[in-house]
Chains A and B, each alone.
Chain A
Amino acid sequence: DAGITQSPRHKVTETGTPVTLRCHQTENHRYMYWYRQDPGHGLRLIHYSYGVKDTDKGEVSDGYSVSRSKTEDFLLTLESATSSQTSVYFCAISDPRQEPYEQYFGPGTRLTVT
């Protein structure tokens, strides 16, 4: 999985609690992305980062925040988890020096909010 790890791999949490998911890469790629995967929706972009401390929103960013203080780490935080955020979350990376920046994905985190 291209030097990308995600932690935790599985998490069950209660509604209203904060949750942080971590993505760690060893490829030194500048761009990083967080997606969620839900049946019938494919993958939808939550947030992305184009460098340390440079982040922007994707199409489904409500209820999520991100931080990137180092090239290798991209954190996704659910400030107050809701049942609608039960999903599988994938991190991806790409290198803007190599057109067309194909993305490489981590193994995913399965999050259940009860």
Chain B
Amino acid sequence: AQSVAQPEDQVNVAEGNPLTVKCTYSVSGNPYLFWYVQYPNRGLQFLLKYITGDNLVKGSYGFEAEFNKSQTSFHLKKPSALVSDSALYFCAVRDPAGNTGKLIFGQGTTLQVKP
């Protein structure tokens, strides 16, 4: 069965330091992978996606993600964290069955960036 795991409930980093939010997936075939961010009392905002090609994907707000097929991972990264990056982050994989665009989400990781 398709699944996504975000092994950390919370990640704490100091402002200015690099950050990584981890995601691993299990899906048959070639995966389509996504990262979303949710600020308090808001809906999810699309950050970036991996379809094919270059393993390093750049997205909004200076975020990037590295696709690693052998480790079935899609970790979210940013070279220098901002306090305003504090939010809830979700990794998702598109269900390859059919053409419905259904997403399977991880449990979410809360990122806390301290000044």
A56 to chain B, nearest CB (A): 7
Complex interface: stretch among B41-49, B65-73, B74-82: B41-49
A42 and B49 in contact, given A31-B101, A100-B32, A107-B43 (Cβ under 8 angstroms)? no
A58 and B43 in contact, given A41-B107, A43-B90 (Cβ under 8 angstroms)? no
Interchain CB contact under 8 A, B46 and A104: yes
Q: B94 near A: Cβ within 8 Å?
A: yes
Q: B114 near A: Cβ within 8 Å?
A: no
Of the listed residues A40, A92, A100, A107, the one surrounded by the most CB atoms of chain B closer than 10 A to its CB is: A100
- CB within 8 A of A90: which of B34, B44, B94? B44
Chain B residues, Cβ within 8 Å of A48: 100, 102
Residue on A with the closest CB to B31? A100
Interchain CB contact under 8 A, B43 and A102: no
User: Chain A interface residue count: which class?
Assistant: 20 to 34
Count of B interface residues, CB-CB < 8 Å: 22
**Residues in A68-102 with C-beta less than 8 Å from chain B:** 90, 92, 94, 96, 99-102
Q: A1 near B: Cβ within 8 Å?
A: yes
A42 and B106 in contact, given A94-B101, A105-B43, A107-B43 (Cβ under 8 angstroms)? yes
Interchain CB contact under 8 A, A40 and B101: no
Interchain CB contact under 8 A, B49 and A40: no
A93 to chain B, nearest CB (A): 10
Residue on A with the closest CB to B48? A102
Q: B25 near A: Cβ within 8 Å?
A: no
3 closest cross-chain pairs (CB), A and B: A101-B101, A105-B43, A42-B105
B residues contacting A by CB (< 8 A) are 32, 34, 36, 41-46, 49, 51, 90, 94, 99-103, 105-108
A residues contacting B by CB (< 8 A) are 1, 4, 31, 33, 40-45, 48, 50, 56, 58, 90, 92, 94, 96, 99-108
